[in-house]
Structure 1
Amino acid sequence: MKFIHFSLFLSIFFALNSVTQELTVAEDIFIEKRIYTTNKLEKVPVIDGLVNEDAWDAVPWSSDFVERVPDEGTPPLYQTKFKVMYDDKYLYIAIRAYDGEPDLIEKRLSRRDGFAGDRVNVIIDSYHDKRTAFVFTTTAAGVKGEEFVSENGNNWDDSWNPVWYTDANVDEKGYTIEMKIPFSQLRFGKAKEQIWGFNINRTIFRVQERSLWQRIPNNQAGFISEAGELHGLVDLPSQKQLEIQPYTVLQYDNYPAEAGNPFRTGSDFKVNLGLDAKIGVTNDLTLDLTVNPDFGQVEADPGAIALDGFQIFFREQRPFFVENRNIFDFQFANGQDNLFYSRRIGRNPHRSANLQEGEFANEPLNSRILGAAKFSGKTQDGWSLGVLETVTANEFAEIREVDGDTREEIVEPLTNFFVARAQKDFNERNSFLGAIFTATNRSLGGNFNELHKAAYSGGIDFQHNWKNRDYFLDGNVIFSHVLGSAEAIERTQRSITRLFQRPGATHVAVDPTRTSLSGSGGRVELGKAGGGNWRYNGGVIWRSPELELNDVGFLRNTDEVIQFANASYLWQIPTETYRNAGVNLEQLTEYDFQGNLNRLRFEGSGDINWINNARTRIGFGANFKRFSNFFLRGGPRWRRANSRYVFASFGSDNSKIFRYSLNYLNVHSDENVLGRNRYSIGLAYQPTDALNISFENEFEITKDRSQYVTALDTQEGRRYILGNIKNDQFTSTLRFTYSINPDFSIQFYGQPFISRGRFSNFNFVNEATAEKFTDRVNFYDENQIQEVTNTSGSSIFSVDENRDQIEDYSFNNPNFSFAQLQTNLVVRWEYIPGSELFFVWARGSVGNTNTRDSLSDGIREQVFNTPAEDTFLIKATYRFVR
């Protein structure tokens, strides 16, 4: 297609042209790799945070840290030194963090992975692939944290929870830290002498200063690749990890009883058992197993309303799927689109029970995960491997019939999910080539004709870096193939992700005889990520109309080709006014596969980190020639009004006891079709080292004269009905954490949410692509539409379009006011490393409030007057580690 080739040419030309015209104000500096050579210990130290034992005399100190933030390349405020030694099972690290003002050291307690206060991060690239690393953090208060780093420092994942040992102590010279890290928690090859990437980062919290043992200039594109090296690890025995973690959950639910419903008597009690296991197949590859996993203590999803009809992305919070997710991640385009979206596994059933009058049903909330296995890791020669196999059960609704008998009705079929991922580093770790394959297979048994019998997707991804990793070329290409009955494939063609039935589309059409569908997508990007002050990139993204990933992936919409280009200029040397600053320009063009131009967007933004460590960000943008193939949900292509937007945010120094953030967004369009204002404020207060309180509020007001309501077939033809909506939305989130010590904490989460939409000035589409909004729609006058109450007591709008005193058609009143309350109180005790005890109280309610009420009245009704459901549970885990 000519426009694809032209867009790709523009993006590549932009990047290459920028290479020849770049103005570099800061010369690249050659930094020599530092090496620390360790030795085997002679005595075993006690890990108590006091570096005062003779055992540490087996190795020398290393120091000479260099400031990274704010003033890169200069001596830090206070120096740091460390030692590393080892035996057959453990790596031992001692750290002395000097501080001339020990009374000012921030000893903030927090939950594990809280990363608050003065702290030290030990960064270990045991694969020595110069792209990934294991990070062990200890704060001055002795709180531990761990992260797995990927993408050469661009992705830090704190879901990794290994078993290791640490402690800290504050004295008159500053503070000291001791660490004892089992080799079984790391991944490495079988070389006689191990050479690992190694670095240590220290944060002086009160001045927000970071210093590194191995200096890494701010204009350097990589982070893990630029670490120093740890030598001297000789003849390490094979470390095959073995961990078994059974759990027990006691759960009591209390909720409002429903008269006559035998399944909603007011309370339930259940006991649940399960098992997680981690087996080291080799030094660098691990097999994770789970049987009947429990996710009872996971925080609930935030409240949200989708007025555009598309699905909402929710982040994964279940531990089994969160850990090592970077290996299985395959984001192929922009946004959240991914070939693997683990929230599909264990989802709510596709069907609800088919009930007759007077019947009741006990329906499962989620599909039970019978078992799951995950094989993952990275080999010494650069192979990243991941295989995931999961089976979810047949799910049945138990139905109590009018005569008292019971029957079962299947609501979700037995389903197998499979994901395989591989990636290979080469060219001295400056390049990689990878692939992914996913499969979803359902046992339909002659039922569920609306579901795909099988769904497959696959893709390849690549990246090449050159000139000290300053420049890059990366991308991916993906494919999908789904199979099923003619009914299932027709539903796929007509779904909001595709809408093949829309009038005026000459490149797609619904074929009711098809039993399969195949599509493709991908991204190609070229740019500059480091060196000097300029950064830029450009590329092309595409999703074919037939692409389908939503059986085990996440795909919002299709039929799209996007050309994009970005350029940034950075000021990275501090002045008396700021620490660092930057400006950014973006350009984006969207087409569909018919060749229609659907959007042209420009955006400019700037951000600055002030010398007092406060932050400011402002920006503006505009959308032109904007059209949507999906707005009318099967109707013709719709012209959106040109719009402009501005945004601004300001945040205070995060090291202060009291801190805040302010955010504002304004969107307005031609002819006042759309107007939106979003305000948010976040407050955090830490009155003591043990107590941390945060309070976030977001209020959004949207006025849209073209909100989609419904589509109806009438004697005059198909009517696409729109309305003027005033949608007010408010969310408030309160969190507090009280840490008695690093292993015992009390955490609270509470969030009321309300979204209220009130409609007026209904209209129907006349000429969907007309330039003026008043030409795109026809407004009903007072003689054509009136609100009436039907026999069921609900409100409808009756339309007499031709004014002959006879109703031509009607539609339901679309007004809504949805409110939700979620609270969660968790007491967590890690009584020994890796083994935990949870006490949880969750309270929540969901309902619809009166649309005539104010937002405050709606929230008050939901919080105080609506009967809530309470869940009390105790969960105990014990981790057996070899």
Structure 2
Amino acid sequence: MNSKKHHFTLVLLFILLIAGTFQAFSQKKTTAIRINDAVSIDGKLDEAVWIKAPIANNFILFEPENGVPESAERRSEVKIIYDDNAIYIGAILYDNEPSKIEKEITLRDRFGTADHFGVFINGFNDGQQDFRFFVSASGVQMDCLATENGEDFSWDAIWNSEVTITDFGWVVEMEIPYAALRFSKENVQTWGINFLREIRRFRQKVTWSKIDRAVGSVINQAGILEGIENIKTPTRLFLIPYTSGYVESNQLSTESTFKAGMDIKYGINDSFTLDAILVPDFGQAAFDNVELNLGPFEQQFNENRPFFTEGTDLFSKGNLVYSRRIGGPPSTSASINENEIVESNPNTVNLLNALKVSGRTSDGLGIGFLNAITEKTYARIRNTNTNEIREQMVEPLTNYNILVFDQRFNQNSSVSFINTNVTRVGGDFRDANVTGIVYDINSKGNKYNFSGDLKMSSIYDDVKGNGYSTFINFGKTFGKFRYSVASQYVSKEFDINDLGINFITNYHNFTANFNYRILNPTKRYNSFNLNTNYYLERENSTGKAQDHWINLNVNSNTKKNDYIGYGFLVSPFVTYNFYESRVVGRPLALPESGNAFIFFSSNYNRKFALDIEPSVRIFNQENRMNYGLFVSPRYRFNDKLTLIYSTNYNLQNSDIGWVDFSENDIILAERNRTTLTNSITGKYAINNKMTLNLTTRHYWSFAENIEFHTLLEDGTFTPNNNYSINKDANFNLWNFDLSYSWWFAPGSQITALYRNNAQNFSNEIDKSYSSNFNNVFQDNLNHIFSVSLRYFIDYNKAKNWFKKV
């Protein structure tokens, strides 16, 4: 018996060894060949050198039918060549119905309804980060940095591409300079590489190296690129000077502003890059979707400034950075004496300059450093008796620092160290420091994940001191059935709000997730995912539940490529909100509730498509109920013109929230709140480098108080018939952007923008939509016209200009 077991063990080990060997050698490989003569990037592949290059073919479907070979009539062939300056990709993409190739023209980095080809390059072959370059059948470029946490399309590289539509399909030709990539200093390069092709009319995606959807990671399933030898990256020094002019006009005045500055990108070595902005200008950044905020927390906005969005994956580790803090509102408000009023209080602080250094060594160590400095900012205060004006500093000269070390290993795991620091120079302003360790460890084969973090905040104001937060998660990340369990502890003193953002502290939680998905299409669905979660959060001091719910969500994609989803969430017990009262230790009891939703998104391949999502939430409280309805039709008139309309309606009946303090009482209001947002976005593409873009938004929200209450010690409330101050709110906001954008040269752009905006607020409720819409335009509509020119200068080409002079 023991002998049989011994033989069985040897056989099993032999099988595993053979399987492992087969797996190692089954990884696809292709070879790049060196060229000595220049090639013309024209989308034709008619130079003789392309004939000699090896072919990467036999693509495999990624979705919907994962693992199935591509069809012969729509086969794909890719070749790679290189020289001392760049790598060149040539792709022949066969299609037996070339007239049906989708080719909508979009803005850069927008995929739209078009066929696409992409190359994924990992210069360190570490299975953790790709530089991805896509081009559509209409010639529009898209590029991003990709990790297993997602794709960052705010990163833009300078590269060249052309496509041609032929009688057998379409052809792509790409030139990707080494300056746009990162790789080791080795004489013999081994890169991870994969190619992706999207055939839009079938919603098919095929890849050269098979990507198994049962595995929880993608990048480490790439193939291998060999043959690149003895290359040296040129000096990576790019200068992007800009100039811009603004004319702003309203009922009060007309002002003109001229700005000029420069962005600098410098390759410190093959792996690390310095980005700096001198005299920044973000005047053409997208507007914020401001809302009527009746809650206890600030509204969180998206980051729209390019410097703080481009290539910032390292700085997002641990979620400790909310970059809108830099150049955001002052950290303090003006304090006034008797007979004084605040005449002007700035909403933002000017950014003087900023720089960041980021990159990764050949050993997988990523290093990121970001520094920004904002100027002293003052409020103007007027004495009502003497009319004398004095200035009060509300924000001193402030220095922001972020430092990140991220060590990758085993092609699927990492450990990171993050530190953020805010130093306010002079005065009684507080300083802050936050440190975190984040780990993300995956098993061999990417079947299981163990992740978490440990963070400490230090506030130097003699009040808060040190705070702590820790999180731990374990999950199964492969196959049809997946699960995870996690827990977090946050101390009362934990505060990252000087450079990050967190709303609640002093709690611990437990969460569990289970989900099921199909890996290949069925008779009804191309994809189907069922997801259920359980969540319990308790306040540390009292043990009361702050949040407690269970939900079930279903997301599916039908055979006609329509997306359907639905779900419900039940909070079966009373929970407690420790923040709505604005008083520490005074929670508001929240009743049991349940909500449900359903959404439908039709196939965007059709000229007319529709998104719709109704929702409802019911509370165990008399008359308290929420309704929501989102509707967004879109129409693609042709490959150049698309319009999208969206309306979002939300009604909250008998909502309960804080409105005031009265002597020792905390006053709550029972209120009906209605919110309606209408927006239109549109795009007209003159060609693949020139577009007209439209964005409009009208936001209207009003809250009508029905009855006032006094908050009791146990979290319940009782009617207050003595309070009678008008706390109704009626808020309108209008934004309109119309821009013309022309990429007249690689990395160089002219943008003309006309913008107008207005807002009004009143304690008098007006329930007429047309009246609100008309009134917002009468409330001092602000007009801005601006023109911005940015020109990209590559040092390697610029130095030749001077040689010719």
TM-score normalised by structure 2 residue count? 0.92
Residue pair 1:658, 1:686 contacting (<8 A) in 2 also: yes
Query: Where do 1:83-482 residues align within 5 Å?
Result: 83-116=79-112, 117-150=114-147, 152=148, 154-257=149-252, 266-331=253-318, 338-349=319-330, 350-352=332-334, 361=343, 364-397=346-379, 408-426=391-409, 428-445=410-427, 449=428, 451-452=429-430, 454-482=431-459
Classify the secondary structure of the residue corresponding to 2:39.
Answer: coil
Q: Counterpart of 1:37?
A: 31
Matched, 1:704 2:660: no
Residue pair 1:239, 1:282 contacting (<8 A) in 2 also: no
Residue pair 1:360, 1:401 contacting (<8 A) in 2 also: no
> Residues 67-94 of structure 1: CA distance to partner in whole angstroms, max 9, x if unpaired?
1111111133411111111000111001
Distance in 2, matches of 1:820 and 1:243, equals 40
Matched, 1:745 2:742: no
> Residues 34-93 of structure 1: CA distance to partner in whole angstroms, max 9, x if unpaired?
111111013221111112222322312221111111111113341111111100011100
- Cα distance, 1:681 vs structure 2: 0.9
Q: After the TM superposition, which of the residue ranges 670-679 and 655-664 deviates more from structure 2?
A: 670-679
**Structure 1 residues 225, 853: closer, same or farther in 2, change over 3 A?**
same
Query: Where do 1:477-516 residues align within 5 Å?
Result: 477-484=454-461, 514-516=462-464
- Cα distance, 1:666 vs structure 2: 1.0
Q: Counterpart of 1:82?
A: 78
Query: Where do 1:406-805 residues align within 5 Å?
Result: 408-426=391-409, 428-445=410-427, 449=428, 451-452=429-430, 454-484=431-461, 514-530=462-478, 532-594=479-541, 596-598=543-545, 599-623=547-571, 624-634=573-583, 636-672=586-622, 674-713=624-663, 718-766=664-712, 768-769=714-715, 776-780=716-720, 784-785=721-722, 797-798=723-724
Distance in 2, matches of 1:30 and 1:684, equals 46
Classify the secondary structure of the residue corresponding to 2:707.
Answer: strand
Distance in 2, matches of 1:734 and 1:354, equals 43
- Cα distance, 1:597 vs structure 2: 3.6
- Cα distance, 1:422 vs structure 2: 0.6
- Cα distance, 1:859 vs structure 2: 3.7
Distance in 1, matches of 2:343 and 2:512, equals 54
Matched, 1:841 2:754: yes
> Residues 745-790 of structure 1: CA distance to partner in whole angstroms, max 9, x if unpaired?
1111100001100001222123534xxxxxx32224xxx44xxxxx
> Residues 210-229 of structure 1: CA distance to partner in whole angstroms, max 9, x if unpaired?
11101111111111111111
Distance in 1, matches of 2:57 and 2:464, equals 63
Q: Counterpart of 1:261?
A: none
Q: Indicate the percent of aligned positions where both proteins have the same amino acid.
A: 26
Distance in 2, matches of 1:102 and 1:305, equals 51
**Structure 1 residues 455, 360: closer, same or farther in 2, change over 3 A?**
closer
Q: Letter of the aligned partner of 1:254 in structure 2?
A: S
Distance in 2, matches of 1:70 and 1:474, equals 30
Distance in 2, matches of 1:726 and 1:352, equals 34
Residue pair 2:766, 2:772 contacting (<8 A) in 1 also: no
Residue pair 1:756, 1:855 contacting (<8 A) in 2 also: no
Residue pair 2:668, 2:711 contacting (<8 A) in 1 also: yes
> Residues 669-699 of structure 1: CA distance to partner in whole angstroms, max 9, x if unpaired?
1133631111101122111111121111100
Q: After the TM superposition, which of the residue ranges 233-242 and 271-280 deviates more from structure 2?
A: 233-242
> Residues 178-205 of structure 1: CA distance to partner in whole angstroms, max 9, x if unpaired?
1001101111110111111111111111
Q: Letter of the aligned partner of 1:838 in structure 2?
A: T
Residue pair 2:42, 2:163 contacting (<8 A) in 1 also: yes
> Residues 530-572 of structure 1: CA distance to partner in whole angstroms, max 9, x if unpaired?
1x21111001012110001111111111011110000011112
Q: Letter of the aligned partner of 1:194 in structure 2?
A: Q
Q: Letter of the aligned partner of 2:626 in structure 1?
A: R
- Cα distance, 1:605 vs structure 2: 1.4
Matched, 1:831 2:744: yes
**Structure 1 residues 438, 866: closer, same or farther in 2, change over 3 A?**
same
TM-score normalised by structure 1 residue count? 0.84
Distance in 2, matches of 1:106 and 1:876, equals 32
Classify the secondary structure of the residue corresponding to 1:233.
Answer: coil
Residue pair 2:120, 2:133 contacting (<8 A) in 1 also: yes
Distance in 2, matches of 1:762 and 1:625, equals 21
Residue pair 1:58, 1:85 contacting (<8 A) in 2 also: no
Residue pair 1:757, 1:851 contacting (<8 A) in 2 also: no
Distance in 2, matches of 1:440 and 1:844, equals 33
**Structure 1 residues 828, 408: closer, same or farther in 2, change over 3 A?**
same
Distance in 2, matches of 1:399 and 1:307, equals 27
Q: Letter of the aligned partner of 2:475 in structure 1?
A: G
Distance in 2, matches of 1:194 and 1:35, equals 13
Distance in 2, matches of 1:642 and 1:415, equals 45
- Cα distance, 1:615 vs structure 2: 0.9
- The count of residues paired between Structure 1 and Structure 2 equals 765
- Cα distance, 1:627 vs structure 2: 1.6
- Cα distance, 1:411 vs structure 2: 3.0
Q: Letter of the aligned partner of 1:616 in structure 2?
A: I
Classify the secondary structure of the residue corresponding to 1:301.
Answer: coil
Q: Letter of the aligned partner of 1:372 in structure 2?
A: A
**Structure 1 residues 381, 578: closer, same or farther in 2, change over 3 A?**
same
**Structure 1 residues 430, 148: closer, same or farther in 2, change over 3 A?**
closer
> Residues 244-298 of structure 1: CA distance to partner in whole angstroms, max 9, x if unpaired?
11111111100121xxxxxxxx111111111110000011100111111111111
- Cα distance, 1:429 vs structure 2: 2.3
Q: Letter of the aligned partner of 1:314 in structure 2?
A: F
Distance in 1, matches of 2:286 and 2:614, equals 27
**Structure 1 residues 357, 100: closer, same or farther in 2, change over 3 A?**
farther
Q: Which runs of 5+ in 2 are unaligned?
A: 1-21, 796-805
Classify the secondary structure of the residue corresponding to 1:745.
Answer: strand
Distance in 2, matches of 1:765 and 1:256, equals 44
Q: Letter of the aligned partner of 2:267 in structure 1?
A: G
Distance in 1, matches of 2:81 and 2:310, equals 28
Residue pair 1:849, 1:861 contacting (<8 A) in 2 also: no
Residue pair 1:394, 1:412 contacting (<8 A) in 2 also: yes
Q: Counterpart of 1:803?
A: none
Q: Letter of the aligned partner of 1:539 in structure 2?
A: A
- Cα distance, 1:343 vs structure 2: 0.4
With a CA cutoff of 8 Å and minimum separation of 6, indicate the structure with the bigger relative contact order: 1
Distance in 2, matches of 1:856 and 1:409, equals 41
* Structural RMSD (CA): 2.1
Distance in 2, matches of 1:535 and 1:307, equals 39
Q: Counterpart of 1:491?
A: none
Q: Letter of the aligned partner of 1:297 in structure 2?
A: Q
Residue pair 1:754, 1:858 contacting (<8 A) in 2 also: no
